[in-house]
Amino acid sequence: MRSFALTLVVVLAVWGCTSVAPPTPSGTTTAEQKTTVAAALAVERQWLGSWFRGTPVLIGQRSDGAITVDVPREFCFEPGRSGVKPALAAVLDKVAESLRRVPLAQMPLLAAPDDAIGTTQLALQRAIQVREYVRSRGVPTARLGKPSATTAAAVQLRMQNATP
């Protein structure tokens, strides 16, 4: 009996040392999680920057930690069309990979331009194609924002911490 009690104490002690902190209630995060995501986004900004250094793709990081990605319109779509060009596809592949590697990140901004002739419908169709492309690369729809039009001459993406 004494041997059993000793074994039970050892098992419980080892189990206690190896268990992780209990999950927080749905929708809440700890300061540690926020810090971890912020650090992960900084790493992803550097990683994306290394992929697109020397190209017209602009990778930045805002003061709130969010990563911005701007891809000039001429590398994104053919005039009058909404299909994703290979150059934009290459950028979206890497952005999707970053989102998969940082599961607590989301992409609330997916904005695309028109052809500078004021057709918001074309811009929205393009933004929808961008969103669908990223979704097709394994990023859950719930982590992607609503497609929108932009007046900028670039596809604009923003990755940020999904936690409030």
Residue-wise DSSP of 25-82: PTT---HHHHHHHHHHHHHHHHHHHHHHTTSS-EEEE-TTS-EEEEEEGGGT--TT--
**pLDDT at residue number 72:** 97
- Give me the average pLDDT of each 10-residue run along the chain (164 residues): 39 32 49 82 94 96 94 95 97 97 94 87 97 98 96 96 77
- Taking the C-alpha atoms of residue 28 and residue 45, their distance in angstroms, rounded to an integer, is 25
Quote the Cα angle for 41-21-25, to 5°: 80
Short-list 116, 117, 130, CA closest to 82: 130
Side-chain-side CA neighbours of residue 101 (13 Å): 16
**Topology of the domain comprising 30-161:** 60s Ribosomal Protein L30; Chain: A; (3.30.1330)
Cα torsion for 133, 87, 62, 140, to the nearest 10°?
A: 10
DSSP classification of residue 144: B
Q: What pLDDT is stored for residue 32 in this prediction?
A: 81
Q: Rounded distance, CA 159 to CA 144, Å?
A: 9
pLDDT of residue 117: 77
Contact between residue 32 and residue 104 where contact means Cβ atoms under 8 Å apart: no
pLDDT of residue 164: 62
The whole model's pTM is what?
0.79
Integer CA distances (angstroms), 90 to 5, 25, 44, in order: 60, 37, 16
Residue 20's pLDDT is 31
Strand 67-72 with 147-149, pairing: unpaired
Distance CA 64, CA 30 (A): 17
